[in-house]
Structure 1
Amino acid sequence: MAHSSDVPVECVPQSWSPSYGDAVELDAFCSRKGHALAAQGGIESDFGLDLTSLDPADVRALDRSGCKRLAKEIREFLIENVTRSGGHLGANLGVVELTIAVHRAFDSPSDAIIFDIGHQAYTHKILTGRGGAFDTFRERKGMSGFPARGESPHDRVENSHSSTGPAWALGIALADGTRPVVVIGDGALTGGVAYEALNNIGVRQLPVLIVYNDNGRSYARTTSRLTLGEPCESEATGSRNVEQFFTALGFSYVGPANGHDFDDLEPAIERAAAADGPVVVHVRTQKGFGWSDAERDEIMRLHQVGGTVAAPPAQELPLATGPQAWGQELSDILCELAEQDPRVHVITAAMPDLLCLLEFRRRFPDRYHDVGICEQAAVGLAAGLASQGCRPVFAVFATFLTRGMDQIINDVALHELPVTFVVDRGGVAGGDGASSHGIYDVGLLRMVPGLDIYAPTSGDQLSAVLRSAIGRDSGPTVVRYAKWKPLRSDPDGTSVESVLRRRGSDLCLLAHGAMVQTAVAAADVMEREHGVSATVWEVVRLRPAVTDVFADAARHKAVVTIEDLAEGSGLYPDLLTHLARGRGTVPATAQVALPAGFLPWGIREELLAEFGVSTEAVVRHAEELLGLEPTEGSDAEAR
């Protein structure tokens, strides 16, 4: 589960930056970069290996002492590079030796090696020839922070969502009879979909090898008895738990092995590789191993770090922002609501820190529930709580909520239960790319009967919506916000339905959430450059539709909706439905939205501009709808 942009400093000890790259012809790029760096002296190790252009065969040729030196240098390389670029550093420092050992025992890409979850794959990238691309790591058009098929044939699965690796391995083994290898851990073995696939592998006795990276953590400590990691009371008891679990499913068991000691680790993986049928090798690792700063971080082991790459200059915003980030606003409101109402419970799927739930956990431990990386179970838990009169709040990133859609429909909405979903990272999330952008949730959720969707823009609006949701006796509520700072509240800006930000007569701009700033900025440009009088509506309640806003919009010559969602979802379909049912003159309309496809990684603001969701794009559409010539210097290319 890997993710988004700057984490509020109030919540976790260190934040990170959203600046991943694009997997475009990266094999050639890495080769060129490696040769260029080699010509300058490269990043050659003290025993002759160039970290910019390694090949798995080079690694297999080392003796064990060479492996130990290689692991030390890769760890130093990762610390140097990832503290610059930002990324999942703590998660990768724990699997350096494990990854080297896997590549020595198996012949990638002939042998499929699947990393679940994919944020553990940095050493894998170095061992497969991509070390030379780390100076573009997580940059647009550079190297991805996750496995990416466009980068290398060594990457089989583009996975930033967790627990899916065993099912891929099941399919590969059934299709061609080969032995796929799944490196699973860092919380991924808490996910129910992983257990479903393990059961099928065991029943069919397929030759799948599971390398269980047991560090006792995901972001925080793992919610599981199948671990020798930090929550475990006894190593002996924990080891029996894991062995009995896997053998009951039909797997052979090897381990536990010390994941930072080649003398213990390599023989264990070799024994597992020689076994017939399904087998698991249980490898105990320490997240953040080898870096004292990570080892001292009790909250996340520096799972993610911010980097020192300069961010783009902040844009001047027309509306003032408040002093706190969304996470801190949420923390304050939830604690206040729980103090007032003993029915309030909070649920997380292994992300208490990034969602700023640590204070709630401290103050209300009996009403705080971390289920691990199990979004479906989290929604089911919320339904069970609500059925008994509780008022559960499930806080989750937008991209991960979609994993629980079946439960949202059939366990919550069908039963008309008052469950509240707080959805963070709505819209373009930046950093992690295609599987982590929150641009599909509204399109899916708007079809759920009886479910209300809100997009507040200020802390006061968030508080008002949450209080209303907690006070409901039936029906679910979704409250979503993007990766931006809340607006400063004002007396006219706290409605939970809509806010009139600007009144005009020619053009109407409809926006919600982070796009309200864009709408107001575009209205300023249209007035300044064309003398166009523009209305700006901030739509807070997305479902059910606020028809009064659409009725007002219909009185203008042109209407533009502005949303950082996939095209075809959000406000625009509701606007068209309203206009189709009306009479009289229909205004010209346009939707400024993201393409209905998968977006790459990169800095959020740059991605929005690149894919046509910006002040300039709104102005261009408005000019076209109103039949205006672009003013000098304001054409599409200039914007």
Structure 2
Amino acid sequence: MISLDDIRRASLSDLKNIAQTIRSRIIEVVSKNGGHLASNLGVVELTLALYKVFDPRKDVVIWDTSHQSYTHKLVTGRWKEFDSLRKFGGVSGYTNRSESPTDWFGAGHVGTSIAAALGIERALKLENKRRNVVVILGDGALTNGEILESLNQIKEQNSKLKIILNDNGMAISSNVGALSKTLSSLRVSGVYTRLKEVVKGILEVSNTGKTIEEELKRMRDGFKNMLSGTDFFEALGLKHIGPLDGHDIETLVKILNGVKTYDHPCIVHVYTVKGKGYEPSEKDAVLFHSAPIFHMKTEQTVSSLDKVSYSEAFGDAMVKLAQKNEKIFAITAAMAEGTGLRDFSRIFPERFLDLGITEQSCVTYAAGLASMGFRPIVAVYSTFLQRAYDQIIHDVALQDLNVIFAVDRAGLVGEDGPTHHGVFDIAFFRSIPKSKIFAPSDISELVSILKSVVDKVEGVVAIRYPKDSQFIDKSSLWRSSKPIDPFKWEILRKGEHTALLAVGSMVRESLLAAEGLNATVVYARCVKPLDTSLLKEISDNHDLIVTVEEGALSGGFGESVAAFLLHQGYKARVLNLGIGEEFVPHGSRRELLEFCKLDSASIKEAVISFSGRRLLNDTEARTW
């Protein structure tokens, strides 16, 4: 077990050995539990150097996104508990204020760190408390608007913020945009690297004072400007130091000691290798960014090798659709791999765009395409699409434009926890006038809905689907998934007294719950608008209507059903099952369904409890 005190007492050579111990611990646990392997292996030395100089028990240290905080967690009292990483009730994969006082600010989404740090710094000033405030920021975050807005405030706020820019050339997929290219050119420049080494050598042997230091500073700045133009960060009022080798603990400690006493804001640019120290991760940093469970010796991933994921099926369907329709254009936000669009990007490079971590820009870019008659499809995880709510309303819906949103990772996403669950998309899309929301019950239905809406359904269209996979014949999927009327619900099982109206992924759980209940099961593939014709028929023949959705109850599907029946004067009772007034923790999908009481056993129990009816055998069930 390694603690903060061990790090602060350790010699620089000892820290190198500690780095290897920590790296081995991370690989061991992530191989069993899954997790963000590559990012964390890349910042081991950086974290140790940082905590050799700054003490997170006293100094405020904020990790942007915080998926790269495993070393931080290990050395701040969670070494033993680290075996429970991402397990239900165990250590979170992200910083969490309720987990440790050294987790100064919780995160999971990119771009929040600098704004939060400025707020904390202002609070400390108002209370006359002196603490260093440090942010660790990935270079991928520089594509994010909130980061750029916050950088613009640092000088105005008279901040003394210290920013460590961890530059590994990647966010999840490779970085895009002009800032990324500027950082890359500076990082790899042979001229700058040689100059840096000369300056470092002179400073190490010279004791002549400020004169030579100032001259060398002018040399450095001149070369920097020659290579990259006016320094972006220094134009914003930040002293720009680097780039430095993020795995060179000795140099990092020297620089950070100087930074600690520097009385102005600064940014220390370090370059690291994503996946450092584990060859498979270094070779495929995208796969091991959020790694599945894998065998440490064979490096073979253990997860769904014979299954097809919703994302993969979506990506394959997009290629087929684009072959038939030249107006289809795919957009994502640093998620080409995760959303299944990698093949699409290779086959149709002119009709694909990865805008980086810029969900707002993605939506408005899509609106621009739509205004010119194209059919843009924006593929973004549900949790990240929340960031573009204004753009969906102002730039798409209000202007009556046709944009399809492929809402990946809708519902409970498992081990990534509350920052990543996609439980609010039904509520925020429902509130938008004339929007349409579809929720396929399985992968074949996803493809059928895509086929059915791409050329025919106008306006804001959301298709939500979970982080899940199924055993399915991929070769025949496109052919066997027939176009349907996506607005029509479907009765899957007829019963009496009680009807379960199931949204998307809840169809399977509802069918299982109905076994032994005298219950009807309806697949509500269209969340909005409601299939009012079938809903009226169901309500005429049942005493209890139960809605089941893997999303927030507030503003959700169930509320719309209850409101419709109330306004229409129906007397059937309504029970809404979904996610209540709480943030769902991390754990396996099965554990979280049970936690939210959305598993089949809990659904059955809720129906019996609410209706007061006893459990029936299947032989007792009657039809209507």
User: Structure 1's 272 and 225: CA in aligned 2 closer, same or farther, altered over 3 A?
Assistant: farther
> 1:507 aligns to what?
498
**Distance in 1 of aligned mates of 2:282 and 2:471:** 37
Match of 1:588 in 2: 573
Equivalent residue in structure 1 for 2:106, among 134, 140, 158: 158
Q: How far apart, in 1, do the equivalents of 2:157 and 2:241 lie?
A: 20
What does residue 280 of structure 1 align with?
267
- State the Cα deviation string for residues 330-375 of structure 1 (Å, max 9, x = none): 1121111111122111111101111111100110111111111111
Q: Which residue number corresponds to residue 84 of structure 1? A: 32
Larger radius of gyration: 2
The answer for the alignment partner of 2:178 in structure 1 is: 225
Are 2:145 and 1:197 aligned?
Answer: no
SS class of match (2:432): coil
Please give the per-residue CA displacement for 1:436-467, whole angstroms capped at 9, x wherever unaligned. Answer: 11111111110011211111224443334334
Paired residue type of 1:248: A
Question: Which residue of the partner structure matches residue 507 of structure 2?
Answer: 516
More helix by share: 2
- Report 1:313-328 matches (<5 A): 324-328=308-312
Equivalent residues of 2:381, 2:410 under 8 A apart: yes
For the Cα contact (< 8 Å) 2:516–2:615, is it kept in 1?
Answer: no
Residue 319 of structure 2 is aligned to residue 335 of structure 1: yes
Structure 2 matches for 1:367-406, cutoff 5 A?
Answer: 367-406=351-390
Structure 1 position 83, deviation (Å): 1.1
Classify the secondary structure of the residue corresponding to 1:579: helix
Q: 1:364-389: per-residue Cα shift (whole Å, max 9, x none)? A: 11111111111111111111111122
1:119 maps to a residue whose letter is H
Q: CA deviation at 1:227?
A: 4.1
For residues 551-588 of structure 1, the C-alpha deviation after alignment (integer angstroms, 9 at most, x for no partner) is: 022121211111111223332112112211224x6112
1:214 aligns with 2:167: yes
Give the AA of the match of 1:147. T
* Contact 2:172 2:335 (8 Å CA) reproduced: yes
Deviation digits for residues 171-221 of structure 1 (CA, Å, limit 9, x no counterpart): 011111343100000522221101101100122230111100000001111
> How high is the TM-score relative to the length of structure 2?
0.85
Contact 1:418/1:469 (<8 A) preserved: no
Select which of 330, 351, 354 maps to 2:338.
354
Decide whether the 8 Å contact of 2:132 with 2:260 is kept in 1: no
Aligned to 1:378, what secondary structure does the other structure show? Answer: helix
Q: Greater shift after overlay, 104-113 or 488-497? A: 488-497
Determine if contact 2:430/2:528 at 8 Å carries over to the other structure: yes
- CA–CA separation in structure 1 for the residues paired with 2:483 and 2:615: 32
SS across alignment from 2:601: helix
Pick from 82, 96, 112: which aligns with 1:134?
Answer: 82
In the alignment, residue 413 of structure 2 is paired with which amino acid? A
* Cα offset, 1:278, TM superposition: 1.2
Alignment length (residue pairs): 562
Q: Aligned partners of 1:574, 1:199: CA distance in 2, in Å?
A: 43
Q: Distance in 1 between matches of 2:186 and 2:444?
A: 44
Distance 1:494 1:105 in 2: 62
Unaligned runs of 5+ in 1: 1-49, 315-321, 527-531, 633-639
Distance 1:242-1:621 versus aligned 2 partners, 3 A rule: farther
Q: Does 2:580 align with 1:627?
A: no
**Larger CA deviation: 344-353 vs 504-513:** 504-513
**Displacement of 1:283:** 0.5
Q: Which residue of structure 2 aligns with residue 546 of structure 1? A: 531
Instruction: Give CA-to-partner distance per residue, 1:119-170, whole Å, 9 cap, x none.
Output: 1100001121211112222111111111112221100111011111000011
Q: Does 1:483 align with 2:436?
A: no
Structure 2 unmatched ranges of 5 or more: 126-130, 193-223, 297-302, 618-624
Q: Secondary structure at the match of 2:242?
A: strand
The answer to whether the 8 A contact 1:589-1:625 is kept is no
2:564 to 566, 574, 578: 578
Sequence identity of aligned pairs in percent?
A: 35
Distance in 1 between the 2:169 and 2:7 partners?
28
Deviations 1:17-70 (A, max 9, x none): xxxxxxxxxxxxxxxxxxxxxxxxxxxxxxxxx33xx1x232121111111111
Task: Indicate the residue corresponding to 1:599 in structure 2.
Answer: 584
User: Which one of the candidate residues 25, 48, 51 is aligned to 1:103?
Assistant: 51
Q: 8 Å contact 1:134–1:143 — kept in the other structure? A: yes
User: Relative to structure 1, is the Cα distance of residues 122 and 482 closer, same or farther in structure 2, using a 3 angstrom cutoff?
Assistant: same
Which residue does 2:19 correspond to in 1? 71
Equivalent residues of 1:225, 1:232 under 8 A apart? no
Higher relative contact order (CA 8 A, sep 6+): 1
Residue 612 (structure 1) aligns with: 597
Whole-angstrom distance in 1 between the partners of 2:91 and 2:481:
46
